[in-house]
Amino acid sequence: MKHTAIMIISAIAMIVLAGCRKPTTNIDMTNDEGKPVIALDYRDFDKAATAMVESLMRSGVLKKKDGSRYVVATGRIINDTMQRIDTDQLMAKVEQEMMNSGQVVMTSAVGGRGATDVMIDEMRNIRDSAQAEEFAGQTLPEKGQLVAPELSMSGKIIQRNIRYDKDTEQIEYYFQLQLTEIASGLRFWQEEKIIGKRGDRRNVSW
């Protein structure tokens, strides 16, 4: 009798606890009305990327005098925040919009973290190795085919935590990008977008 009662109570407790769980929902990425979060989320990257792209497009620096397209490489984008951020969250949007504008072509051959597509180097290593015999010679990349970038996009994401009052922390995120002509070293464009948040000090921003 006692054993059965314990079993029933346990079963009820499990059902109640399971019922307390928040159901999983999909985020409406187009019209997200969710509350802001203290860390950087996709909405912040969207805002920063849009501000960067619009500033770059408006500046007119991507217009090449001879009418052709600039070859652009993504240099180093430093994550100087307390969060684990893949800087591609910002740069993928910026690069995509730059290419879609028809004014530039991005190179995957070189970049701040090496080639963005490892197969570019890999196929050249194969060409120069004994493995090359396994491939039809004319399908291997010849030497002197890669196009060097003319412009480099580099930048930084900075985080500053400031104590606002006893219970509130202010967190400032600085998104900085710059575009430099590789041959001359001259900087053609740069932009900064600041996103600020205030929240409970107990909220962790990493």
Partner 1 sequence: MKNTVAICVLVAAMLAGGCGKPSADERVNVASGVGSDTLMNNIILRPVAKAFSALIGEGIEVQQTTLRTNDEGFLELQVSGYNRSYSIRRFDYIVEWVDKDGMVLPSKTNVWQPMSVQPKSKFSILSIAPRAEAVDFRMNTRKQPK
189: nearest Cα among 100, 96, 104, 115: 104
**Does 106 contact partner 1 by CB under 8 A?**
no
**Does 196 contact partner 1 by CB under 8 A?**
no
Shortest Å distance, C-beta 90 to partner 1: 11
Shortest Å distance, C-beta 124 to partner 1: 32
Q: Which of 39, 40, 53, 72 binds partner 1 (CB under 8 A)?
A: 53
**Helix ranges (DSSP H) in 21-160:** 42-59, 88-100, 118-127
x/- binding map, residues 60-99, to partner 1, per CB under 8 A?
Answer: x-xx-----------------------------x--xx--
Distances (CA, A) of 131 to 6, 120, 121, 144: 69, 16, 14, 20
**Dihedral over Cα of 60, 61, 67, 70: its sign:** negative
What phi and psi, each to the nearest 5 degrees, are found at residue 190? -155, 155
Q: Which of 47, 76, 113, 160 binds partner 1 (CB under 8 A)?
A: 47
**Does 150 contact partner 1 by CB under 8 A?**
no
Whole-angstrom distance, CA of residue 56 vs CA of residue 177? 10
Q: For binding to partner 1 (CB under 8 A), which residues are involved?
A: 31-35, 43, 46-47, 49-50, 53-54, 57-58, 60, 62-63, 93, 96-97, 100-103
